[in-house]
Amino acid sequence: MKLTNVTPILEVVSIDDTIRFYSDLLGFACVNRIASWAALRHGDTELMISLPNAHVPFDGPHFTGSLYFRLDDVDGLWEQLKGKSTVVYPIENFYYGMRQFAIRDNNGYCLTFGSPIQDPSQIPAQDED
């Protein structure tokens, strides 16, 4: 068996509002849609959104992790989003070689965006806790 991709499906309260968020702020396009489900795409990255399934209790969107998006210009995206979304943490360099930030989408899901740090001198030392 060879896995070739993973596409998250996020349960949302409003299909229209979520399409608007991902399209207007992040440049995704809605490539397929029915009343209770939609597929969004940005380049090779795909995300599906869905209204709650009638077979599973739903008390609002929840997810214990974050969706991590790798991109080529994290600083440019940070400049576009920092005043237009709820910031989880601002842009910073991490010891594992990534420069990243995180925001919340309109449903409260955590979206993290990162790019590899090109200059090794900009990689901070790992904190010892």
Q: Are 73 and 111 contained in the same domain?
A: yes
pLDDT in tens, 39-62: 999 999 999 999 998 888 878 777
pTM of the model: 0.90
Q: Are 43 and 71 contained in the same domain?
A: no
Q: What is the CATH number of the domain that holds 72?
A: 3.10.180.10
Domain assignment of residue 126, yes or no: no
Q: Are 46 and 69 contained in the same domain?
A: no
pLDDT in tens, 94-106: 999 999 999 999 9
Q: Are 68 and 38 contained in the same domain?
A: no
Q: Are 96 and 69 contained in the same domain?
A: yes
Range of the domain at 18: 1-52
Q: What is the count of structural domains for the chain?
A: 2
Domain assignment of residue 129, yes or no: no
Domain assignment of residue 106, yes or no: yes
Each of the 129 residues of the chain gets a pLDDT tens digit; together they read 887 888 999 999 999 999 999 999 999 999 999 999 999 999 999 999 999 988 888 787 778 889 999 999 999 999 999 999 999 999 999 999 999 999 999 999 999 999 999 998 899 998 765
Q: If you search the block for the tokens 């904190």, which residue do you land on?
A: 127
Residue from 62, 67, 66, 112 nearest 90 by CA: 112
Domain assignment of residue 57, yes or no: no
Contact 10, 47 (CB under 8 A): yes
Domain assignment of residue 125, yes or no: no
Distance CA 49, CA 11 (A): 6
Distance CA 100, CA 32 (A): 30
Last residue of a domain, one of 52, 74, 94: 52
